Amino acid sequence: MPVIAGAVGAEAAVTEHVRVAVIGSGFGGLGAAVRLRREGVTDFVVLERAGSVGGTWRDNDYPGCACDVPSHLYSFSFAPNAAWPRAFSGQPHIRAYLERVTDAFGLRPHLRFDTELLQASWDDERRLWRLRTSQGELTADLVVSATGPLSDPKLPDIPGLDGFPGAVFHSSRWDHDLDLKGKRVAVVGTGASAIQIVPAIQPEVKSLTVVQRTPPWVMPRVDRGINKAEQWLHEQIPATAKARRGLLWLLREFQVGAFVKRPRLLKAAEQLAKSNMRRSIKDPALRRQLTPDYTIGCKRILLSNTYYPALAQPNTELVASALKEVRGSTIVMADGTEREVDVIVFGTGFHVTDMPIGDRVVGANGLTLAEHWKDGMAALRGCSVDGFPNLLLIIGPNTGLGNSSMILMIESSLNYVAAYLKALDDTGGVALDATAEAVRSWNTEMQRRMSRTVWTTGGCESWYLDSEGRNTTAWPGTTAEFRRATRRLKLEEYDVLQGATTS
C-alpha cells in the first residue's frame, strides 16, 4: 500500500494510504469489501473496532436471539447458503454465515481488528480523508461507512441506576458470566430483543418483571426447521434456492403498499395479531395492557410464538408503566409500582437517529456529520452527504425497512458504490461532492412520501422518528424502487473535484 508524507510538528511522518477505508465488518462492511474486489479495487482496509466480523450479529448474542426475516432472504444474493437450519435462523448461524463469507471471498487480509475509528476528517487541500484510529493514523481517498444504525446501545438516564447493587446491562452487551437461575430479573422494554429474551430466560429465573412503556403488535412467527432433503435440493439445484428467495421477496414487496400508501389495509393484520394474543393470554386485564392503541406497523411489527405464553406464566409480571427511578435494589415505575430485583436488563434499542459515528466524521466545512445533520439526517439516495466528499454510507438515512430484508437495501447501496467509483474514473476527478440542492431535493421528496406512511400517520412514537418527529430512517417504497434509484449515479447531482489544491 502506498504511503504519503505529512508534517507532524517539525518532523515529517509517513502515513499509510489506501484507496478505500471501510468502517465496520457487519453485513454492510463485508458486502462493501466483496464489491470492491469485484470492481478490481484491492487497495482497501476494513476497520473493525471489535475482534471479529459480524457487526450487530456479533454483538447481539443474548438468549433467544434470532432474525425476524426469513434466512433465504436475509443473506447475500451473491453468497447463497443452502444449509440454513431454520426458516428464521438464530444468531449463531447468521454469525457463522458471515465468517464463511469472509473466508470464501478472501477478505481477511483486508481486515483490521481492534481498530476503532476515532475521527475521520476531510483534507480539502490534499483531497483525501485523514483517519485517526485506536491503532494509529492512515489516509484514504474514499471512506465507506458501514457502522449500521443498530451498533451503539441506547440506555435511558434513570435516576439512582448507578446505585443499583446488582447486575445491569443492555441486551446487546449480554453478561454471559451471570447465572440467572433463581434471580429476580427485570427486563426494561418490549421491543424486538426483549420479546426474544423474555421467553428464553423465563423458565430459569425466580421472577421476571417486564417493564412496558408501549405495547408492541406481535404476529405469529411461522418458523420451522429446514430438513436435510430441502438443504440437499438447494445445494444441488441452486435455482430452487433462488426461486425460494424470489418468492419470499415478492410476498414482502406486495405488502409495502399498505405501509407507505394505504395504512387502513393493515386492519386485517391487527385482527390476526389480536387472535395471536387471545390464544395465549386468557386474562382480559392483561390483554388490555398488551393491546396497542396505534395502527399496526407504526412501530416495528414483532414476530413471536413464545412471548405471550411466557407473560402468562406464574413467575412473570407485566408492569405497563415506564421505569422512573431506581432506589437501591428497588425499581420504581411512573405509576408508583415498585419491585425488588437482582438484575436489570435493558432492551431499549440503539442510537439510530443520532448515530455516534456522526460525531467522528468531519467534512470539508469543518462541521461534524452530527452538526451538519442538526435539522435531521439526510443523504442523497441514502448514500452521499453534501460537504462530505468521497464519503459513502451503507444503511444511510431513509434506507431502513419495516417488512423486508435489509440485505436487499445494502446490495443496492453497493451498486451505488460501484457506480460512484466508475464516475470517478470516467470524469478523471479525485472526489465527488453531492450538491446541497440535490440532497435537499431528495430529502424533500422523502419527507413528502413519508407523510402518508403508517410510520407518520399511525399514532405512535418509535425509533423511526427523530426528536422532532421526522422519519429519517425508513424507506417509503419497495426495495425494487430503491434498487432502481441506486442503479446509476447522476453526475448532475455532484460537484466533481479535481486534484489536490496544494503540492
Angle among Cα 455, 459, 460 to the nearest 5 degrees reads 70
350, pLDDT greater than 80: yes
Q: Are residues 355 and 382 in the same domain?
A: yes
Beta strands in 189-227 (DSSP E): 207-211, 218-219
Q: Are residues 342 and 358 in the same domain?
A: no
Residue 21 belongs to some domain of the structure? yes
Q: Rounded to whole angstroms, how far apart are CA atoms 371 and 354?
A: 10
Q: Are residues 461 and 491 in the same domain?
A: yes
Q: pLDDT tens across 24-74, in order? A: 999 999 999 999 999 999 999 999 999 999 999 999 999 999 999 999 999
Which of 346, 365, 400 is the last residue before a domain boundary? 346
With H, G, I as helix, E, B as strand and everything else as coil, classify residue 384.
strand
9, pLDDT greater than 50: no
Residue 227 belongs to some domain of the structure? no
Q: Are residues 187 and 300 in the same domain?
A: yes
Which of 325, 346, 367 is the last residue before a domain boundary? 346
Residue type at 120 in one-letter notation: A
Q: Are residues 96 and 194 in the same domain?
A: no
Band of residue 355 on the pLDDT scale cut at 50, 70, 90: confident
Q: Rounded to whole angstroms, how far apart are CA atoms 503 and 232?
A: 60
Q: Are residues 360 and 338 in the same domain?
A: no
Q: Are residues 43 and 103 in the same domain?
A: yes
Residue (of 34, 72, 35) closest to 420 by Cα position? 35
Residue 237 belongs to some domain of the structure? no
Q: Among residues of the chain, what percentage have pLDDT more than 70? A: 97
Q: Are residues 479 and 338 in the same domain?
A: no
Q: What's the pLDDT at 71?
A: 96
Q: Rounded to whole angstroms, how far apart are CA atoms 11 and 32?
A: 36
463, pLDDT greater than 90: no
The model's pTM is: 0.94
Q: Among residues of the chain, what percentage have pLDDT more than 90? A: 90
185, pLDDT greater than 90: yes
Mean pLDDT (whole number) for 409-434 = 97
Q: How many CB atoms lie within 10 A of CB 328?
A: 11
Q: Are residues 415 and 393 in the same domain?
A: yes
Which of 330, 346, 362 is the last residue before a domain boundary? 346
Q: Are residues 490 and 375 in the same domain?
A: yes
Domain extent, residue 200, equals 161-222+256-346
Band of residue 1 on the pLDDT scale cut at 50, 70, 90: low
Residue 242 belongs to some domain of the structure? no
Based on the structure, what is the number of domains in the chain?
2
Burial of 245 (0-12, 13-18, 19+ CB in 10 A): buried
Q: Rounded to whole angstroms, how far apart are CA atoms 499 and 428?
A: 9
Q: Are residues 438 and 369 in the same domain?
A: yes
Q: Rounded to whole angstroms, how far apart are CA atoms 56 and 53?
A: 9
Residue (of 303, 300, 297) closest to 257 by Cα position? 297
CB-side neighbour CA atoms (13 Å) of 401: 24
Residue 229 belongs to some domain of the structure? no
Q: Rounded to whole angstroms, how far apart are CA atoms 205 and 227?
A: 33
Residue 270 belongs to some domain of the structure? yes
With H, G, I as helix, E, B as strand and everything else as coil, classify residue 198.
helix
Q: Rounded to whole angstroms, how far apart are CA atoms 340 and 357?
A: 37
> Which three three-digit cell numbers place residue 44?
482497501
Q: Rounded to whole angstroms, how far apart are CA atoms 90 and 97?
A: 11
Q: Give me the chain's average pLDDT, please.
A: 94
Return the H-helix or E-strand segment holding 169. Answer: strand 167-170
Q: Are residues 368 and 442 in the same domain?
A: yes
Q: pLDDT tens across 107-161, in order? A: 999 999 999 999 999 999 999 999 999 999 999 999 999 998 888 899 999 999 9
Residue 448 belongs to some domain of the structure? yes
Please check whether residue 206 is in contact with residue 184, taking contact to mean a CB–CB distance below 8 angstroms. yes
318, pLDDT greater than 80: yes
Residue 289 belongs to some domain of the structure? yes
Band of residue 414 on the pLDDT scale cut at 50, 70, 90: very high
Please check whether residue 359 is in contact with residue 201, taking contact to mean a CB–CB distance below 8 angstroms. no
CATH classification at residue 429: 3.50.50.60
